[in-house]
Structure 1
Amino acid sequence: MSQPEEPGTAPEAAEPGADLTGRGPSQPDGPPGDTGEARASRALRDAATGTFGVTVLAFVLALVIGALLIVFTTDSVTSTLSYFFSRPGDFFSAAWSAVSDSYVAMFRGSIINDRGWSFTTVFHPLTETMTVATPLIIAALGVAVAFRAGLFNIGAQGQVILGATFAGYIGFTWHLPVVVHVVVAIVGGILGGAIWASIAGVLRARTGAHEVIVTIMLNYVALYFLAYLLTTRFFTHSSSNQPKSPAVGPNANLPLLLGEQFRLNAGFLVAILAAVFVWWLMTRSTWGFRFRAVGSNPNASRNAGIGVATTFIAVMAVSGALAGLAGAVQVLGTEKSVTGGIAGSLGFDAITVALLGRSKPMGIFFAGLLYAALDVGGRSMEAATGTPIDLVLVIQSLVVLFIAAPPLVRAIFRLPAPRPDAKGAHA
C-alpha cells in the first residue's frame, strides 16, 4: 500500500525503478541501448500528447472549425459557389480573405494593433484583454478551489454580485484615508462572497443538500436582492429604469497601472497574487491537503480524522471569498458603480475558465487571458469585418469541448496515448 501524502507537500509520482532518493545520476533515462534520437522522439511525443500539447491542438481545431463557419456565413464567399466549378479560384480567394481578415481583426483588437502610431493605440487592445481577464481569473480560481475539493460551486455569479455589492457600498458610503479605504472595501467584498457561499457549505455539511442546487438558487436570490437594493434611496441616486449606485469614492478606486489612457488597474496585480495564493493553499498548506484529500475520497478522509463537514464549509468559504474578491475588483477598478448587471455573465464564464485551466492556478491565469482575448477580439472582429460575434461564442464553446475531451483530440489528430510516467502527459 502506498504511503499517504504528507500535508504541505505536492505529490510527485515516483519514477519506475527509482529508489527513495530518486534516480541516480549514473542511471540512464530510458531503456538500455536508448539513443539520443529515440529520447528526442519520445520527448516530442510526450509534449504532443500531454496536457499542453492537447490544449494547443484543441484551440487550433476550434479555430479551424470557426474558419469553416466564417467561410459559409460570408456572403462574398457563398456567392462564388454558384460558379465554383468554372472558376474555383474565386471561391478559395474569397474564403481566404474572409477568414484572414476576421482573425487578423480579432488579433488586432485583443493583442497588438500593428496599425497604431503611438504606444496607446498599439497596446490598448492588450490592456483591454488584461482588464477583462482580471475578475474572470479571480472568480475562476474560486471555482477551481471547490472543484479540487470535490464540490461544484455553480454559484460564483451570486457570490460575485454580493462581493460587488458589499465593496461598492463601502466604497461610496464610507470615508476613509487613501489605501485604507480601498483595502477595507476589498475585504468587504471578500466577506460578502464568503458569507454567501458558506450558506451552501453549511447546508451541504449539516443537511446533505447538494451544493449545485443550492448555489444555483442562491444566484437568483443575490440577483433579486441587488435589484431590490437598487430601488432603495440609500443605495441609489437615480429613479430611472436602469438605476445604479453612486460612484465609489476616489480613495476606494483601484489605481490605474498605465495612466488615464488605459483602463488597466491594480486589480490585475490582485489577480496574480490570488493565483499565487491558491497555488500555495492547494500545494503547500495543511488546509490545502485537507481540501484535496476530501475531494479524492471523503470516506477515507473521515477515517483518517479529517473533519469532512468542516472542510466542506471551509472550501465553500474560500471559493466564495475569491468570487467576492472578483466582484470587488470589478466595481472598484472598472465599473466604479454598482448596477443590476455588475456581474454580467462573469460567474458562469468563470466555470468555463476553471475547466479550461484544468483547475490549476497557472492554467487558469492563461485560460482567463485567452477567454478575454476571444471576447475583446470578437467585438473588434464584428466591427471591422461584420462577422457575427456569435461565431466567437461558438469558438469558445468548441475550445471548452475539445479541451474537456482529450481522447477526442487525440483521435482526430491520430496521436498515441500518453505514457503513464510522462510528466505532464496526463490530461
Structure 2
Amino acid sequence: MSDINKKAREPLIRTVKRAERSKMEILRLRIIAFALALIAGGLFVLLIGFNPLEIYATIISGAFRSKMAVQATIKFMIPLLISSLGVTLAFKMRFWNIGAEGQIIVGAICSSYFALFHSDWPHMLLLLAMFVVGFIGGGLWGLIPAYFKSKFNTNETLFTLMLNYIALHIISFLRDGPWKDPGSSGFPKIARFVANAQIDKVFGVQFGWLIGLLLVVIVYIYLKYTKQGYEISVVGESQSTAKYAGMNVKKIILRTMILSGGICGITGMIQSAGSDMTLASSVAGGVGFTAIIVAWLANLNPFNILVVSFLFSVLEKGSSVMQSTHGISTYSASVLQGIILFFILGCEFYIRYKFVLRSIRNKGGSK
C-alpha cells in the first residue's frame, strides 16, 4: 500500500503525546488558562445580567468572610481530600477506579452498623471500631473489581461504575427495611446517630480534617519511599516490565485496590458520623466523581491534592454564597463552575498532548 493510502486511513485529527515541558512553560500555560477561565466566566455572568467583578469577589469572600464560612469550606474539603487520595493509589497503577462513590457508601454502611447498634460502647473505642470497619468495607468493595480484573481481565471502569449503583441501592434497602427509624413519619429514614457515635470537633470542625492531613503524609511516603509504592509505579508504567522484574502483578493490584477502596471507605465513615450524623443516600454526594478530577489536576501528588481540593472547596462554598447573595439560580452557578473547570482541565490536556492534522504527501514529497 502506498504512503498516500496509509496517510488517508489516518484520522483527520489525532492527539499525540508532547515532549516533556519545562516547569516554567507549564506554569505559564496554567496562568493563561486561569485568566481565560475568568474571562469566559465573566462573559457568561455579563450575559445573565450581573457584574463579573462583584460575582468573583463574592465567591472569594464567601469562603472566608467569617469563622463559620471558613469552617464550612473545610467541611466541604474533608471528603474531597480523602477520597482523592484514595483514587490516586489506583490511578497511579493505571487501574481506573471510578467506584469511589460506592466505596464511600459501603464504608459508611459498615461504620453505621456500629453507630446504630453498638452506640453504648466507650466513645473512643466506638469511633475506632467505626473507622476500622469503614476502611475494611470500602477496601472489600474495591477488592471485587480488582479480583475480576486480575483473574479475568474485566473492564475495571465499567465494573467499578456499576458497583456505585449497587451500593446506593443497599442504602435504600436498609432505609426502607431493617434499619428504618420506627419514629420516622412520612418518608422513611435511618435514625440519627447518638452523640456518642458522632465525631468530635477540633477548632469547630469535625476532626476528619486531621485524618485527611495525616493521610496526605502517609500516602506520599507510601508512594515515594516504600517498596510497595515503587511496585505500584512500575505496574502503572508497564505490567510486562513488572512481570519481567519478578513482581506479582495480581497481588499488587489486589493490595492497592484494598487500600484505595479502604481510604474511600474512611471518607464514608467521616461523612456519616461527622457531617450527616446519620446514614443517608446522599452520603457520597458526588464527591467520588469530583475526586477523580482533583487527583488528575494534582498530577497524582498527595500534597498537590491538598491544595487543589482546598481550591475546589473555596469554589463550592463561594458559589453557594454567590447564589444567596445575588439571587443567581443553582443552574447558572453550576454553569459558571463548569466554565472555569473546562479551561483548567483543557490546560492540563494541552500540557500533555497536542492535536496533529493529517497531511497527505504525493510521491514527489510535496503536500
Q: TM-score range by the shorter chain?
A: 0.7 to 0.9
Aligned to 2:74: 130
Quick one: higher RCO (CA 8 Å, sep 6+), 1 or 2? 2
TM-superposed CA distance for 1:400, in Å, is 3.8
Query: Which of 90, 100, 107 is equivalent to 2:53?
Result: 100
Q: Aligned AA for 1:132?
A: F
Query: Which of 27, 35, 47 is equivalent to 1:60?
Result: 35
Q: Deviations over 1:239-288 (max 9, x none)?
A: 555433222232332211124xxxx2100111111111110111011111
Q: Deviations over 1:201-254 (max 9, x none)?
A: 001011111111110110111011110011124453455554332222323322
Q: Aligned AA for 1:162?
A: V
Q: TM-score, normalised by structure 2?
A: 0.84
Matched, 1:326 2:301: no
Q: 1:338–1:179: structure 2 CA closer, same or farther, 3 Å change rule?
A: same
- The count of residues paired between Structure 1 and Structure 2 equals 330
Q: Aligned AA for 2:231?
A: R
Q: Which runs of 4+ in 1 moved over 6 A?
A: 407-410
TM-superposed CA distance for 1:194, in Å, is 0.4
Q: Deviations over 1:90-113 (max 9, x none)?
A: xxxxx6xx11221122122112x1
Aligned to 1:89: none
Q: Deviations over 1:100-150 (max 9, x none)?
A: 221122122112x1xxxxxxxx22212111111101110111111111111
> Which ranges in structure 1 are unaligned for 5 or more consecutive residues?
1-44, 75-94, 114-121, 411-427
Aligned to 2:188: 243
Aligned counterparts of 2:233 and 2:70: Cα–Cα separation in 1 = 35
Query: Which of 265, 269, 272 is equivalent to 2:210?
Result: 269
Q: 1:242–1:56: structure 2 CA closer, same or farther, 3 Å change rule?
A: farther
3-state secondary structure, aligned to 2:181: coil
Q: 1:241–1:204: structure 2 CA closer, same or farther, 3 Å change rule?
A: farther
Matched, 1:171 2:115: yes
Aligned counterparts of 2:182 and 2:227: Cα–Cα separation in 1 = 47
- Which aligned pairs between 1:72-87 and structure 2 lie closer than 5 A? 72-74=47-49
Q: Deviations over 1:16-57 (max 9, x none)?
A: xxxxxxxxxxxxxxxxxxxxxxxxxxxxx965423x554444
Aligned to 1:189: 134
Q: 1:317–1:389: structure 2 CA closer, same or farther, 3 Å change rule?
A: same
Does the Cα contact within 8 Å between 1:63 and 1:395 map onto a contact in 2? no
Does the Cα contact within 8 Å between 2:180 and 2:188 map onto a contact in 1? no
Q: Aligned AA for 2:59?
A: M
The Cα RMSD (Å) is: 2.1
Identity of aligned residues (%): 27
TM-superposed CA distance for 1:374, in Å, is 1.1
Does the Cα contact within 8 Å between 2:44 and 2:336 map onto a contact in 1? no
Aligned counterparts of 2:349 and 2:133: Cα–Cα separation in 1 = 44
TM-superposed CA distance for 1:336, in Å, is 0.5
Q: 1:194–1:298: structure 2 CA closer, same or farther, 3 Å change rule?
A: same
Does the Cα contact within 8 Å between 1:186 and 1:328 map onto a contact in 2? yes
Does the Cα contact within 8 Å between 1:374 and 1:392 map onto a contact in 2? no
Aligned to 1:199: 144
TM-superposed CA distance for 1:408, in Å, is 7.2
Aligned counterparts of 1:240 and 1:143: Cα–Cα separation in 2 = 38
Matched, 1:296 2:234: no
Aligned counterparts of 1:350 and 1:46: Cα–Cα separation in 2 = 27
Q: 1:305–1:231: structure 2 CA closer, same or farther, 3 Å change rule?
A: same
Matched, 1:232 2:173: no
Matched, 1:212 2:157: yes
> Which ranges in structure 2 are unaligned for 5 or more consecutive residues?
1-20, 352-367
Does the Cα contact within 8 Å between 1:243 and 1:339 map onto a contact in 2? no
Aligned to 1:381: 322
Q: Aligned AA for 2:168?
A: L
Q: 1:57–1:131: structure 2 CA closer, same or farther, 3 Å change rule?
A: farther
Aligned counterparts of 2:76 and 2:186: Cα–Cα separation in 1 = 26
Question: Which of 1 and 2 has greater Rg?
Answer: 1
TM-superposed CA distance for 1:338, in Å, is 0.6
Aligned to 1:24: none
Does the Cα contact within 8 Å between 1:167 and 1:188 map onto a contact in 2? yes
Aligned to 1:346: 287
Aligned counterparts of 1:67 and 1:166: Cα–Cα separation in 2 = 45
Aligned counterparts of 1:326 and 1:300: Cα–Cα separation in 2 = 34
Aligned counterparts of 1:138 and 1:395: Cα–Cα separation in 2 = 26
Aligned to 1:77: none
Aligned counterparts of 1:146 and 1:100: Cα–Cα separation in 2 = 40
Aligned counterparts of 2:35 and 2:332: Cα–Cα separation in 1 = 15
Does the Cα contact within 8 Å between 1:231 and 1:239 map onto a contact in 2? no
Q: TM-score, normalised by structure 1?
A: 0.73
Q: 1:151–1:242: structure 2 CA closer, same or farther, 3 Å change rule?
A: farther
Aligned to 2:364: none
Query: Which of 180, 189, 193 is equivalent to 2:125?
Result: 180
3-state secondary structure, aligned to 1:230: helix
Q: 1:409–1:147: structure 2 CA closer, same or farther, 3 Å change rule?
A: closer
Does the Cα contact within 8 Å between 2:136 and 2:265 map onto a contact in 1? yes
Does the Cα contact within 8 Å between 1:66 and 1:391 map onto a contact in 2? no
